[in-house]
Amino acid sequence: MAIKPPFTDVDIPTAEQGFYEGHSIPIATISKAIMVGIVLWALIWPLSAGAQLSSFKWTLLEGFNTFYVLSVGMFTFFLFVIALIPQTGKRVLGEEGEKPEFSTFSWFAMMFGAGLGVGLMVFATAEPLGLWGSNPETVTGNVEGNTVEGLQAGYRYTFLHYGFHAWAIYVATGLSLCYYAYTRGMPLTIRTALTPLFGRFINSPFGHVVDVVGVVATILGVSVTIGFGVSQFVDGLYAITGMEWMMNMTGDAPAPATVGLIAGLVVIMGLSILSAVSGVGRGIKWLSNANLVMSFILIMTFVIFGSFVFAMTTYGTALVDYILNFLYLSFGAHAPQSLEAFAAAPAVLQSGLSGEDLAAVYGGATNAWGSLDGFRDSLPASMAELPAETSAALYAAGTDGRLFGWQAGWTTFYWAWWIAFAPFVGLFLARISRGRTIREFVLGAVIAPSLVCFAWMTILGGTAIDLELSGVADGSIIAASNTAKLFVTLGHMIDGGLLTGITIMSVVLILTFLVTSADSGILVMNTIMSGGQAETGIRHRIIWGVILTAVIAVLLIAGGGGMDALSDAMIIGALPFTIIMVLMCISLGKALFNDHRRTKHGVAEPAE
């Protein structure tokens, strides 16, 4: 049977003159309309917007949590398979015989700068500490949280959230874009990756929808990143200056107030717009170099003054445990437990609960963040004399519901965050990977950065855990807000001028990571809207910088100064792009198979 050359004639019309010169008018205007709609909605009804986003998110997760989890597992195994198959692994991402554009060292350095950053600064201590106290093993009662025994399970899920699966999300997008752009000479934009499945149909309005989904996902992913980063930036400024006007002092521990967050946001986004206007060659490159130097100083501070031996021991044992549980971590999805399913459990049937008591017991037993003791305290007064064995059995009957709640609230949040960030990082990885083989791209961009993330999490997070286990911190790190945990940990490690200096440097590092993320996101959005062009107009970078600022600000206000509304919007917005990513993998598999057949039968491959 004849093998046709692949379809490569992607046509994205752009305006030849006027305000939108060089941009696709449908993609730009639809994307702006969606974002402006979100801003107006959250601005006019800030109280109801947050509640409605939360409600819709949980409704969506009840139907799609399993889809999120299985999709990410599939991305990971798909990439490893095509990297290991000789016929696909050795294919060059470019013209035959083309050499890599960047040295291996520079390639790794740029990759870390794109994928790491704000997430590692905020969650280097918060993630291991949080998962040490709450993970599926503690939810099922197999181990007790915040103990030596709970350390292994805590790091198993820390490695899950920052390991091979997470980076596979970036690489699945980046590899698809890189393959078509550099082996087929097609535009570097999202719709290109679906041409093996949809052919000429991708030039219809459907193609615009695909690119708009990429723009919206990027905006929401960058918004959550900036939101967390701004919160830590304000925490850092408070640690240095003690300015209480930025903080909410009414809780158990000081936390950034809405006014402080908005002020920090305006500063950071103003600098980001200036950097985006200066272009990739100056702003981003200069900031990336500065980030690398300051990150090295911070990690060496923890190596010298922190619990380095404890961290390295944890690294080794956790890595082995992560690999042994890799298959379950990839595909172990949990569905919600309905009231009917809970009521049918033997322990519940035997208890003979009334309808009112059943609803109360169901709510407590399926609460992923509640302990057995908390469940007993929440029981109705009519059940106050319930035997301990009976209450334990009722609590155990809700294990499936608790596992779903934990996974949906933690792992799926991460998958949505990484997926929303995938258009941004994927485009960047594609740009810097021309000339590498598929095997180099997959193994280099999935395994190497994961191992660095593991080291960062065990050195910084392990020190915080060791300070708590030894009693030095006396619960102060656990009690601090997620974005303040880094500074509280530093306060227990060092003091005097060194503490002040490292704290100031950390705040500057957070600031530069934030500016880098925001201006890169602005540039990527404009690249998609200009049909894959790297150089885009300055005024559109400014406009999208302002829109991004407005989206983050109103969702912070809708969330009462917290991250809930931003996170909810991101999880909702990431779902369409998850579907597109699944289609991307199917498309790439089809393209690789047919290109192998073309090579084998001597059929000319697409025009370059």
Query: In this predicted model, what pLDDT tens digit does every residue of 218-250 receive, in sequence order?
Result: 888 888 888 888 988 998 899 888 898 998 888
What is the spatial distance between Cα 58 and Cα 340, in angstroms, rounded to a whole number? 19
Query: Which CATH number fits the domain that encloses residue 503?
Result: 1.20.1730
Q: What is the mean pLDDT of residues 424-448?
A: 90
pLDDT value, residue 8: 86
- Give residue 604's pLDDT: 58
Residues pairing with 92 in the sheet: 437
Answer yes or no: are the C-beta atoms of 16 and 531 closer than 8 Å. no
- 540 pLDDT tier (thresholds 50, 70, 90): confident
Q: Which of 394, 417, 435 is the C-terminal boundary of a domain?
A: 394
Q: What is the pLDDT of residue 381?
A: 83
- Pairing between β-strand 255-256 and β-strand 247-248 as defined by DSSP bridges: antiparallel
State residue 428's pLDDT score. Answer: 81
8 Å CB contact between 27 and 211? yes
93-117 per-residue burial string, b: 16 or more CB within 10 A, e: under 16? bbeeeeebebeeeebbebbbbbbbb
Tell me, yes or no, whether 608 lies in a domain.
Answer: no
The 10 Å Cβ neighbour count of residue 307 is 22
Using CA atoms, how far apart are residues 435 and 258, in angstroms rounded to an integer? 47
Note whether 156 and 293 are same-domain residues: yes
Distance separating alpha carbons of residues 213 and 294, to the nearest angstrom: 35
pLDDT digits (tens, 9 = 90+) for 149-167: 999 999 999 999 999 999 9
What 8-state DSSP symbol labels residue 384? T
**Which residue in 198, 165, 158 sits closest to 326, CA to CA?**
165
- In terms of domains, do 347 and 453 share one? no
Q: Which two tokens stand for residue 166?
A: 């997470």
The SS3 call for residue 95 is coil
Is 382 in the same domain as 511? Answer: no
> Are 390 and 521 contained in the same domain?
no
* Within-domain flag for 92: no
Question: Is residue 1 scored above 60 in pLDDT?
Answer: no
pLDDT digits (tens, 9 = 90+) for 482-500: 889 999 999 999 999 999 9
What gap in Å lies between CA 323 and CA 152, rounded to an integer? Answer: 12
Rounded to 5 degrees, φ, ψ at 116 are: -90, -160
* Whether residue 246 sits in one domain with residue 182: yes
pLDDT of residue 67: 96
DSSP class per residue in 167-236: HHHHHHHHHHHHHHHHHS---SSGGGGGHHHHGGGGGSHHHHHHHHHHHHHHHHHHHHHHHHHHHHHHHH
- Output the pLDDT for position 560: 72
Backbone angles phi, psi at 269, to 5 degrees: -70, -30
Q: CA of 55: how far to CAs of 49, 50, 369, 564, in Å? A: 10, 9, 18, 11
pLDDT winner (highest mean) among 105-109, 193-197, 213-217, 432-436: 193-197
At residue 524 the predicted structure's pLDDT band, cuts being 50, 70 and 90, is confident
For residues 273 and 294, give the distance between their C-alpha atoms in angstroms, rounded to a whole number. 22
Predicted local confidence at residue 607, as pLDDT? 41
**Is position 17 within any domain?**
no
Flag whether 296 is in a domain. yes
Residue where one domain finishes, among candidates 378, 394, 410: 394
Residue 388 falls inside a structural domain: yes
* CA nearest neighbour of 363 among 346, 377, 375: 375
Q: Identify the band that residue 528 occupies on the pLDDT scale cut at 50, 70 and 90.
A: confident
User: Are 306 and 430 found together in one domain?
Assistant: yes
507 and 377 in a common domain: no
Place of tokens 């708590």: 468
Asked whether the predicted pLDDT for residue 80 surpasses 90, the reply is: yes
Is there a single domain that holds both residue 325 and residue 273? Answer: yes
Cβ proximity of 541 and 555 under 8 Å: no
137 and 219, same domain (yes or no) = yes
Torsion sign over Cα 524, 528, 530, 534: positive
The domain boundary residue, chosen from 371, 394, 417: 394
CA 37 to each of CA 76, 243, 547, 554, 555: distance values in angstroms, whole numbers, following the listed order: 35, 35, 11, 11, 12
User: Distances in Å between the alpha carbon of 413 and those of 131, 172, 292, 486, 520?
Assistant: 14, 19, 27, 22, 22
Structure confidence at residue 608 as a pLDDT band (50, 70, 90): very low
Instruction: For tokens 């060292």, name the residue.
Output: 105
Residue 113 confidence (pLDDT)? 62
Alpha-carbon distance of 252 to 479, in angstroms, equals 8
146 near 474, Cβ under 8 Å?
Answer: no
Confirm whether 498 is domain-assigned: yes
410 and 388 in a common domain: no
* Per-residue model confidence (pLDDT) at position 101: 80
Mean pLDDT, the chain, rounded, equals 89
If one counts every other C-beta atom within 10 angstroms of the C-beta of residue 604, the result is: 7
CA distance to 212, 220, 544, per residue, from 191 (Å) = 10, 19, 21
Chain centroid, CA 42 distance in Å:
23
Angstrom CA distances, 7 to 129, 192, 200, 211, 582, stand at 50, 10, 7, 18, 20
**pLDDT tens digits for range 291-308:** 788 888 999 999 999 999
More confident residue, 606 or 608: 606
Domain of 253 in residue numbering reads as 25-38+55-83+101-338+402-601
The residue-averaged pLDDT of 171-195 equals: 92
Q: Is residue 467 one of the residues assigned to a domain?
A: yes
Number of domains in the chain: 2
Q: Say if residue 332's pLDDT is above 90.
A: yes
Neighbours of 201 (CB within 10 A): 13
Q: Are residues 456 and 547 in the same domain?
A: yes
CA distance 514 to 228: 10
Amino acid at 518: A
Q: Which residues pair with 256 in a beta bridge?
A: 247
10 Å CB burial of residue 387 (0-12, 13-18, 19+) is exposed
Residue 157 confidence (pLDDT): 97
Task: Please tell me the least confidently modeled range out of 33-37, 302-306, 383-387, 506-510.
Answer: 383-387
Q: Report d(CA 123, CA 485) in Å as an integer.
A: 9
pLDDT tens digits, residue range 89-98? Answer: 999 998 888 8
In DSSP terms, 247 is beta-bridged to 256
The per-residue pLDDT for range 99-142, each reduced to its tens digit, is: 888 888 778 767 766 656 777 788 889 999 999 999 999 999 89
Q: Let me know whether 388 and 484 are in one domain.
A: no
Tell whether 45 is covered by a domain.
no
d(CA 378, CA 180): 57
Question: CA–CA separation, 533 vs 553, rounded Å?
Answer: 29
pLDDT in the model for residue 440: 94
